[in-house]
Amino acid sequence: MASSSSPFDCLIFDLDDTLYSSKIGIGEATRRNIEDFLVEKCGFAKSNASTLRSELLRTYGGTLAGLRALGYDVDADDYHSFVHGRLPYDLIKPDARLRGLLRSINQRKIIFTNSDGIHAMKVLDRLGIKDFFEQIICFETMNPSLTKSSTPDEFPIVLKPSLDAMNIAMDVAEVDPRRTLFFDDSVRNVAAGKAVGLQTALVGKTMRTKEADYAMEDVHNLVQVIPEIWYKGEDEQRLNRTRSDIESILTATPVGAVVSELLKTKDTAEKASKVALVYDVLNTLKPRGSSKVDLSL
């Protein structure tokens, strides 16, 4: 349970392109695999595959949902095995910085993804953060009756950004939407979250949309953008550590001593804030071409 000083009791995170960067190539590989599925398994022309994939996503929320709605008898497990089974998961690296950040958050943490459970577990394992989430709400959670269908359109597939999907997630997670913060990289999904009363954070963007309460370019910016996860009001001021403040410490003190003092910090929110900012500064000041600094806690 969250501290009474925080407005949030639960944090719900999307997975792909939210907890890892959209630039690493997983999304691109997924789109390519979906287009290959349309060609190899459904018989569509290769020249039309990209346009069809985009249209099915826009209209039905996903390719599988669209195919089944149009009468194609596509087995969900076969689809996910084809699309995700070929992904280059080795592109996803352990994220010690994200691990330290999640460790500092006392509230309940839940994954909410349109992907299947096998894929979700693989991604969380690769990132090294599976143990921080008490629940994974995924494709199977939202579509429990799909295997019982006698025709492809008997049980329409439910996915974000449908309001049905959002309500299923809140029921399964047993959360109060007013005290729940929902993170997603999709503007449409964030809008759906706001429509059902969730507090919302758009990841991967620097500008807020109308439906987003917060926006952050990267999930690692969580402390700077939403310090009220740990505190609110007057307590927020003490979380703000400017880059120039940290730089002045680094110029006068050996890096090892700074990190040593950092690790003595008892307050988890203050520690998370310091870790994030020191990490940024150290990686700005490091010699060009050298490896990134690791400040895992």
* pLDDT for 262 beyond 80: no
Strands 135-137 and 199-203 turn out to be: unpaired
* pLDDT for 35 beyond 80: yes
Whole-number pLDDT of residue 112: 98
Whole-number pLDDT of residue 231: 76
CA dihedral 34, 35, 37, 40 (to 10 degrees): -170
Which has more pLDDT, 2 or 70?
Answer: 70
**Residue carrying structure tokens 């997975």:** 15
In the structure, how many helices (H) and strands (E) does the chain have? 13, 6
DSSP track, 126-170: HHT-GGG-SEEE-HHHH-TTGGG-SSTTSS----TTSHHHHHHHH
Q: Which amino acid is at 18?
A: T
For the segment 73-87, the average pLDDT, to the nearest whole number, is 97
Phi-psi bin for 49: left (phi > 0), alpha (psi -120 to 50), beta? alpha
Among 25-34, 261-270, 282-291, top mean pLDDT goes to 25-34
For the segment 56-80, the average pLDDT, to the nearest whole number, is 96
Rounded CA separation 201/183 (Å): 5
Beta bridge partners of residue 120, listed in sequence order: none
Q: How sure is the predictor about 294, in pLDDT bands with cuts at 50, 70 and 90?
A: low
Residue 42 near residue 267 (C-beta atoms within 8 A): no
For the segment 170-198, the average pLDDT, to the nearest whole number, is 98
Whole-number pLDDT of residue 237: 46
Task: Write down the pTM of the prediction.
Answer: 0.80
Whole-number pLDDT of residue 80: 98
220-246, pLDDT tens digit by residue? 999 999 999 997 544 444 444 444 444
Rounded CA separation 228/29 (Å): 36
Whole-number pLDDT of residue 5: 81
Rounded CA separation 88/73 (Å): 27
Task: Please report, in angstroms and rounded to a whole number, the separation of the first and last CA atoms in the chain.
Answer: 22
Q: Percent of the chain at pLDDT above 90?
A: 75
Whole-number pLDDT of residue 292: 54
Rounded CA separation 32/183 (Å): 25
Q: Which amino acid is at 277?
A: L
Interhelix angle 117-127/76-85, nearest 10 degrees: 30
* pLDDT for 256 beyond 80: no
